[in-house]
């Protein structure tokens, strides 16, 4: 036997051993028994055969009004006998994951279905079903769909994916991305976890992304990121593509966040976030020395809202926050990631240092802790205002302006403290999430209906 043949077989055998060692026992037990030159052929096929039926393709159709500038002139309209505006249908494609087979619930990205007038879900079997939007959270970029119950009756039982523990992920763990890139059909790519807790990217309001080098392309949005045991550990949502294509940097919403948001949307159709009432800053070496703690031990509390949950629990400016909700807190990104999944009614444990001594307790969030949102995050015309959903039972319901900075954009447009936004572009808005969604569907200018001292006023602001 020639030396080159021996080298080839040795390399094949070593490659098979290394790949086999990287797979969990559940996968090893399901590996195919076929042999090639006496060597096993490890494969992800058994895992994918069990998982891919739970990943669906999503097609959306949106009615769009198109205006021809020439036809704004009545003379041209009469001459050509055509209307100034016409309707056309915009179509797009994405992906989704079945998370509840019995109720036909599909989790996807908000940007996939946010403006859709009609949604069609195609199962791995090829069956097409209409779906409706149960609720959405634009701040995290998640939406929950429900497949038509009558259409489901004619099909075999669905397959759903179970959520895995994304908090147990480590950099270097193997992952697989499943979705519908470029609308060509279900596609599988593999890679590793490149980084965890990515934030500050300006992609969404709340960011705590899993970064992966598994190829994620347009159309993969809303698809599944799974581990090698077939558990859902993320929802693919974005790529870093300076040239418009995949460059090995993709981002997924971690399962811990996605599962919490999906449950809130299933229960209530919206996400009622609480205001943590906290602001932190990282501990540099000087601060760590002054507080006699390690620089990476936690984060310094630089602001605590009076009367808020943190204030009621005894936290104060100058304390060092170590953990919140079981999550280590070292910077503002860690705090925002916890804020994304903290809802009204939650009880969130914390660990801190007060005057150098351990201090622990629980933050309890009630109706007084409703989320406050800076207007600048929503529209240029709201910059300088702070917004909050009205209390339950308020009439009319809407979004209150708690503060308006004199001289700010909101002030110059005529908005004042106590104003209540009750409609956007003629559509009623009852809460901040509803306001965020409607503003996301608006053009360069937005028509607001403002309730002030018992009367309604119309106001146009820049988006």
The pTM of this model reads: 0.72
Between the alpha carbon of residue 348 and those of residues 168, 197, 255, 367, the distances in Å are 20, 20, 19, 15
pLDDT on residue 83 = 60
Say whether 372-462 and 278-368 share the same fold: yes
Are the CB atoms for 201 and 207 separated by under 8 Å? yes
Question: What does the alpha-carbon distance between residue 209 and residue 249 come to, in Å, rounded to a whole number?
Answer: 11
Q: What is the mean pLDDT of each run of 10 residues along the chain (463 residues)?
A: 42 43 44 56 86 92 68 59 64 89 94 86 91 87 92 91 93 92 80 88 76 84 92 86 66 94 91 85 84 83 87 92 92 87 93 91 87 81 86 78 89 91 88 76 86 90 87
In the set 137, 141, 213, 275, the catalytic residue is 141
Angle at 445 between CA 439 and CA 448, to 5 degrees: 60
pLDDT on residue 74 = 62
* 74: region left, alpha or beta (phi > 0 left; psi from -120 to 50 alpha): alpha
In the set 111, 166, 275, 369, the catalytic residue is 111
227 is catalytic: no
221 is catalytic: yes
What are the structural domain ranges in the chain? 3-43, 44-271, 278-368, 372-462
Q: 278-368: what fold?
A: Pdz3 Domain (2.30.42)
254 token code pair: 């971690």
400 is catalytic: no
- CATH classification (class only), 44-271: mainly beta
pLDDT on residue 25 = 42
Are the CB atoms for 89 and 108 separated by under 8 Å? no
Sorted by sequence, the CB contacts under 8 Å of residue 216 that are 6+ apart come out as 177, 179, 181, 189, 236, 238, 239, 246, 250, 251, 252
Angle at 264 between CA 179 and CA 240, to 5 degrees: 35
pLDDT on residue 367 = 78
Pick the CATH number of 372-462 from 2.30.42.10, 3.40.50.2300, 3.40.190.100, 3.30.70.20: 2.30.42.10
pLDDT on residue 19 = 43
Dihedral angle of Cα 369, 374, 377, 379, to the nearest 10 degrees: 120
């Amino acid at each position: 036997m020639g030396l080159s043949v021996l080298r080839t077989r040795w390399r094949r055998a070593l490659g098979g051993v290394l790949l086999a060692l990287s797979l969990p026992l559940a996968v090893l037990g399901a590996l195919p028994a076929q042999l090639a030159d006496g060597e096993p052929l490890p494969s992800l096929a058994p895992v994918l055969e069990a998982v891919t039926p739970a990943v669906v393709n999503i097609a959306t159709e949106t009615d769009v009004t198109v205006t021809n500038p020439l036809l704004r002139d009545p003379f041209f309209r009469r001459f050509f006998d055509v209307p100034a505006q016409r309707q056309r249908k915009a179509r797009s494609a994405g992906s989704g994951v079945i998370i509840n087979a019995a109720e036909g619930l599909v989790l996807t990205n908000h940007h996939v279905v946010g403006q859709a007038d009609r949604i069609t879900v195609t199962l791995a079997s090829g069956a097409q079903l209409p779906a409706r939007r149960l609720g959405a959270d634009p701040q995290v970029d998640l939406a929950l769909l429900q497949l038509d119950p009558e259409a489901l009756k004619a099909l075999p039982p669905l397959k759903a994916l179970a959520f895995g523990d994304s908090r147990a992920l480590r950099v270097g763990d193997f992952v697989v991305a499943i979705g519908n890139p470029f609308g060509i059909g279900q596609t599988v790519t593999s890679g590793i976890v490149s980084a965890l807790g990515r934030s500050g990217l300006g992609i969404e309001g709340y960011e705590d992304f899993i970064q992966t080098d598994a190829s994620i392309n347009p159309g993969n949005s809303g698809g599944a990121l799974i581990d090698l045991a077939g558990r859902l550990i993320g929802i693919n949502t974005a790529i870093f593509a300076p040239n418009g294509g995949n460059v090995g940097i993709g981002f997924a919403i971690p399962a811990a966040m996605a599962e919490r948001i999906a449950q809130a949307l299933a229960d209530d159709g919206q996400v009622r976030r609480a205001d943590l009432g906290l602001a932190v800053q990282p501990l540099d070496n000087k601060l760590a020395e002054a507080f006699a703690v390690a620089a990476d031990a936690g984060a310094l509390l630089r602001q605590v809202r009076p009367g808020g949950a943190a204030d009621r629990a005894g936290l104060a400016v100058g304390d060092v926050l170590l953990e919140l909700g079981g999550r280590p807190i070292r910077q503002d990104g860690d705090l925002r990631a916890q804020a994304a999944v903290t809802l009204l009614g939650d009880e969130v444990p914390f660990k801190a240092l007060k005057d150098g001594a351990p201090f622990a307790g629980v933050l309890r969030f009630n109706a007084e802790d409703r989320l406050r949102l800076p207007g600048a995050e929503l529209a240029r015309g709201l910059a300088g205002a702070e917004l909050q959903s009205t209390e339950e039972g308020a009439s009319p319901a809407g979004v209150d302006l708690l503060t308006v900075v004199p001289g700010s954009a909101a002030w110059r447009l005529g908005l004042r403290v106590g104003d209540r936004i009750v409609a956007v572009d003629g559509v009623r808005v009852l809460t901040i999430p509803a306001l965020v969604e409607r503003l996301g569907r608006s053009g360069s200018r937005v028509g607001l209906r403002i309730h002030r001292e018992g009367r309604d006023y119309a106001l146009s602001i820049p988006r």
